[in-house]
Amino acid sequence: MATQIQLPEFPKRGHGTALQLESQRKRYRIAGDALRRELAKAEDAFAAVLADRDQRDQTKARLAAMARKNRADNLKK
């Protein structure tokens, strides 16, 4: 069969370009990962700040309630 004959390969010239493309692919992945990591970090930072703010609000509310109760108790005395 003619198709079983070993044929010389085409002498391609794009090895350098192929390496460049592989390097680009790494850069796209690294850049994309860094971007998603910072987005996640920002979400976490917001969550931490809001949790802290909630805690402060609750503490303030508790302190205000205690102050009101103390004032009321003092008035009774």
Residue number, 39 or 65, with CB nearest to another protein: 39
Residue number, 49 or 63, with CB nearest to another protein: 49
Residue 39 Cβ, how far from another protein at the closest point, in Å? 6
CA–CA separation, 38 and 45 (whole Å): 10
Residue 49 Cβ, how far from another protein at the closest point, in Å? 5
CA–CA separation, 47 and 44 (whole Å): 5
CA angle 36, 53, 47 (to 5 degrees): 15
Report which residue type is found at 23: S
Residue 37 Cβ, how far from another protein at the closest point, in Å? 8
